[in-house]
Amino acid sequence: MLPPKSAPPVWLPWLSRLVLRLGVGRSTALLTLLAWAGAVALSQLAITLIGQGDRWLAALFSSICCLVITPVLGFACMRLVSHLDLEHGHMRRLATRDGLTGVYNRRHFLDLLEREWSRAQRYDTAAAMLLLDVDHFKNINDQFGHLCGDAMLKAVAEALLDILRQPDVLARFGGEEFIVFLPQTDPLGAIDVAERMRDCIERLSLDWEGKSVSVTISVGVAAMRPEHVTVDHLIHDADVALYAAKAAGRNCVRAGDGLFAGKPSYQRT
Ligand SMILES: Nc1nc2c(ncn2[C@@H]2O[C@H](COP(=O)(O)OP(=O)(O)OP(=O)(O)O)[C@@H](O)[C@H]2O)c(=O)[nH]1
């Protein structure tokens, strides 16, 4: 039987909140200052208590308090604060990232999207959404095993990240489905990105137990339009376009109706 886990000290949550609020540098400085103030108070106490009897002993004790206790406590504070900061980073990562691929998870993507959406609407800038689905992914699991499927999803996510610009947001939307928000991107630009992604994944090859495994993706493209009242409308348009890409035989890009304001939907030849 495992020994019962001891409860964390009561001051730890308080310290954790302090590090979150002030950051590593400022909380280390504050704690070191407190340690120094404690050491000075201790040395004053020593001078008062021992000072009348032995002045040398009092001077030695107060020097030890100031010269030894302050750096030791300061160093300990720095270690503790860095450790708490690492832990916060780890927790943040768990809350916002997909555990397998490392890209954003669906929930965090939707949070980010709300922010990006209001910014695009406020400044009246173009924006687009891509919904990508790995074709016949079940076959990869069935033929090469689930671990190979996992490795393939990681490779796909990495390849997609390589294509995107810094402000673009990529997330794993579901099992073998990814979603991308492209701020300040017009419809033609979005289709260009989608086509480059499709082409890159088609050329991607995973070496698995001596065999070369490859997949293709279908991509649905939707552009932000005045009729879109919420982000859900944009996602819905991308979903409809993705469905069209699947219906057209997969490994292709399709754009939502109305993307070109009257012009026919994009077709890959
Ligand atoms: N290895 C692995 N497989 C997953 C993961 N998430 C979902 N899948 C699998 O992805 C497969 C998706 O299958 P389907 O929804 O039938 O779609 P598909 O085979 O890709 O076919 P189309 O989408 O129609 O082209 C299922 O077999 C799921 O088990 C995952 O994290 N790892």
ipTM field: 0.95
In this structure, the residues whose C-beta lies within 6 A of any atom of ligand 1 are 100, 133-138, 141, 146, 149-150, 153, 175-176, 246, 250
Contact by Cβ (8 Å): 221, 190: yes
* Ligand 1 atom with the shortest distance to the CA of 250: 25
Segment among 56-65, 98-107, 236-245 with least mean pLDDT: 56-65
Query: For a pocket test of ligand 1, which of 176, 206, 239 has the largest count of ligand atoms closer than 8 A to its C-beta?
Result: 176
* Ligand 1 atom with the shortest distance to the CA of 147: 1
* Boundaries of every domain in the chain: 11-96, 106-255
Share of the chain above pLDDT 70, in %: 92
66 CB-near residues (< 8 Å, 6+ apart): 36, 39, 40, 43
51 CB-near residues (< 8 Å, 6+ apart): 58
Query: For a pocket test of ligand 1, which of 132, 134, 135, 141 has the largest count of ligand atoms closer than 8 A to its C-beta?
Result: 141
Asked whether residue 5 carries a pLDDT value surpassing 70, the answer given is no
Fold of 106-255: Alpha-Beta Plaits (3.30.70)
Banded model confidence at residue 24, pLDDT cuts 50, 70, 90: confident
Other CB atoms within 10 Å distance of the CB of residue 97: 16
Contact by Cβ (8 Å): 252, 197: no
Q: How far apart are CA 23 and CA 130, in angstroms?
A: 36
Q: How far apart are CA 267 and CA 269, in angstroms?
A: 6
Other CB atoms within 10 Å distance of the CB of residue 178: 25
Residue 126, judged by CB atoms within 10 A of its CB (0-12, 13-18, 19+), counts as: middle
More confident residue, 211 or 68: 211
What is the DSSP code string of 139-159? HHHHHH-HHHHHHHHHHHHHH
